[in-house]
């Protein structure tokens, strides 16, 4: 791939905004690897700034080319994700707390979201998936998938616990009903995205394979991590000598 440095100097013998421009073109190998482009930016940016300072106030120097433009777009996407993922988790937490009428249940329902995002990017790092505009957005998608699975399981546990004194029995019933349904839904979604993983375009193939892995992680977090958390919360929420749920309305008792 080709990179370049554009130097433009506004000189007094030109009228208007026209000036003298010089472009230096060079080859930058290995631009499919994001780390190579980032390393080249780290080395060339100080040189461009030093050249701009040497040319004076009427000149500017900028790096250009496909690899640098893609890297800047990727950096902008990462900055947006760093803001959007926490905002999405907080909004899911607030909405879940409002509709469930329990802050503790909302917190434990949102807990698997953090695990799924961490597991997903750890998987990408271990198996050498490169970060790009497509793979970087899967973390945001995992928030929506994870909270959907968590709400289904938590609400089913609340319904089962209304008529059951034993919390473990309520968890077993929720796992046997909603848990099996979530496994079937996750399996069908995984199969569809695994088929997409065989696409001839590398970006689509990476998106399909990573989305399938993300769905597996989301289902695993909900079916393995969430049950003990809801049991613990039900103990904390329970009033003395009674259950934490009202049989008449199915909502959390104050």
Residue 188: which pLDDT band, with cuts at 50, 70 and 90? Answer: very high
Burial of 13 (0-12, 13-18, 19+ CB in 10 A): exposed
Would the pTM count as exceeding 0.85? no
**How many CB atoms neighbour CB 237 within 10 A?**
17
Place of tokens 């947006």: 80
Top-confidence residue, 9 or 194 = 194
**Domains contained in the chain, CATH given:** 2-68 (no CATH), 101-237 (1.20.1640.10)
Task: Encode pLDDT of 122-132 as tens digits.
Answer: 998 898 887 66
The tokens describing 69, both together, are: 């433009």
Give me the pLDDT at residue 41, please: 77
Average pLDDT in the 36-44 region? 76
**How many CB atoms neighbour CB 211 within 10 A?**
23
Task: Encode pLDDT of 71-81 as tens digits.
Answer: 777 777 777 77
Sheet with strand 2-9: strands edge to edge: 20-27, 2-9, 59-65
Residue 17: which pLDDT band, with cuts at 50, 70 and 90? Answer: low
Q: What is the mean pLDDT of the chain?
A: 77
Q: Quick one: which of 225, 226, 229 has its CA closest to 237?
A: 229
At residue 137, does pLDDT exceed 70?
A: yes
Q: What is the DSSP string of 81-105?
A: HHHHHHHHHHHHHHHHHHHHT-HHH
């Amino acid at each position: 791939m080709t990179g370049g440095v554009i130097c433009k100097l506004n000189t007094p013998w030109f009228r208007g905004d026209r000036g003298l421009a010089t472009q230096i073109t060079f080859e930058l190998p290995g631009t499919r690897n994001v780390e190579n482009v980032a390393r080249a930016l780290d080395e060339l940016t100080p040189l461009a700034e030093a050249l701009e300072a040497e040319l004076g106030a009427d000149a500017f120097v900028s790096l250009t080319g496909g690899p640098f433009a893609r890297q800047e777009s990727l950096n902008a996407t990462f900055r947006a994700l760093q803001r959007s993922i926490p905002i999405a988790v907080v909004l899911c937490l607030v909405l879940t707390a409002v509709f469930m009428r329990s802050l503790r249940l909302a917190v434990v329902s949102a807990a698997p979201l953090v695990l799924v995002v961490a597991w997903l990017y750890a998987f990408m790092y271990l198996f050498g998936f490169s970060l790009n505009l497509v793979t970087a957005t899967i973390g945001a998608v995992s928030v929506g998938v994870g909270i959907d699975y968590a709400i289904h399981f938590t609400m089913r546990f609340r319904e089962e616990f209304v008529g059951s004194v034993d919390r473990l029995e309520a968890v077993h019933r929720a796992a046997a009903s909603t848990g099996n349904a979530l496994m079937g839904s996750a399996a069908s979604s995984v199969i569809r995205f695994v088929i997409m993983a065989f696409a001839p375009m590398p970006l689509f193939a990476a998106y399909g394979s990573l989305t399938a892995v993300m769905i597996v992680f989301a289902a695993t977090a909900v079916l393995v991590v969430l049950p003990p958390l809801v049991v613990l919360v039900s103990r904390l929420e329970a009033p003395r000598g009674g259950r934490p749920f009202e049989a008449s309305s199915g909502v959390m008792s104050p």
